[in-house]
Amino acid sequence: MKTKKYIKMFSVALIVSIGVAQLLAAILLFVPRTRTAGALILVATLVFSTVVIFMSGNNNFGLASMIPILMCGIVIAEGKLLRSTPEPSDTGIDE
């Protein structure tokens, strides 16, 4: 009976708004300039969804739900790596 108690805590409007935020964040992933922001928003919403899944008692699906979170972490790390890489003209070597 614990499962039903946790599910009733979240309204349909909240769940739908989280889904819409996930879709908008996923669209941001396609634009190189907004990729990191999209990944950060997506991580926040996916963590929320994963917590709700674990609270409902569905541990196997909760563990599987962590895979997209890890993938977003890779996108965020890639964005940081690309920003920290110097441009070829910034190497200090005169041409």
How many other C-beta atoms lie within 10 A of the C-beta of residue 72?
A: 24
Range of the structural domain that residue 45 is part of: 2-84
In a domain, 15, yes or no: yes
pLDDT at 91: 57
Per-residue pLDDT of the chain (95 residues; tens, 9 = 90+): 455 555 566 677 888 888 899 999 999 989 888 888 888 899 999 998 888 888 888 888 888 888 988 888 887 888 777 666 666 665 556 55
pLDDT at 4: 57
In a domain, 49, yes or no: yes
In a domain, 91, yes or no: no
DSSP 28-72: HTTSGGGHHHHHHHHHHHHHHHHHHHHHTT-HHHHHHTHHHHHHH
Q: Yes or no: say if 35 and 29 are a contact pair by the CB < 8 Å rule.
A: yes
For residues 72 and 62, give the distance between their C-alpha atoms in angstroms, rounded to a whole number: 16
- Total domains, the chain: 1
